[in-house]
Structure 1
Amino acid sequence: MASILFQERVLGFTLGTAFGLGAYVYEQKKFWRSTRELANVYSGGQLPPPAVYVPEPIFGRRTKDQLIHAWNMGVDQTLGKLVAALSERGW
Structure 2
Amino acid sequence: MISILAQERLLGAALGSVFAGVVVFEQRKSIYNSISKNYPPTTQSPMRKPVLAKKYGPEFSHLWNSAVDQTFGPVIQALSSRGW
TM bucket (normalised to shorter chain) is 0.5 to 0.7
In structure 2, distance between residues paired with 1:70 and 1:24: 52
Highest CA radius of gyration, 1 or 2? 1
Q: Is the alpha carbon distance of 1:62 and 1:13 closer, same or farther for their aligned partners in structure 2, counting shifts above 3 Å?
A: same
Number of residue pairs matched by the alignment: 63
Structure 1: give runs of 5+ residues left out of the alignment. Answer: 41-46, 73-91
RMSD: 3.7
Identity %: 25
Q: Deviations over 1:44-81 (max 9, x none)?
A: xxx22467x9xx7xx74225436757999xxxxxxxxx
The answer for the alignment partner of 1:29 in structure 2 is 29
Structure 2: give runs of 5+ residues left out of the alignment. Answer: 51-59, 74-84
Larger RCO, structures 1/2 (Cα 8 Å, 6+ apart): 2
Q: Is the alpha carbon distance of 1:5 and 1:20 closer, same or farther for their aligned partners in structure 2, counting shifts above 3 Å?
A: same
The answer for the alignment partner of 1:48 in structure 2 is 42
The answer for the alignment partner of 2:62 in structure 1 is 61
C-alpha deviation, 1:16, in angstroms:
0.2
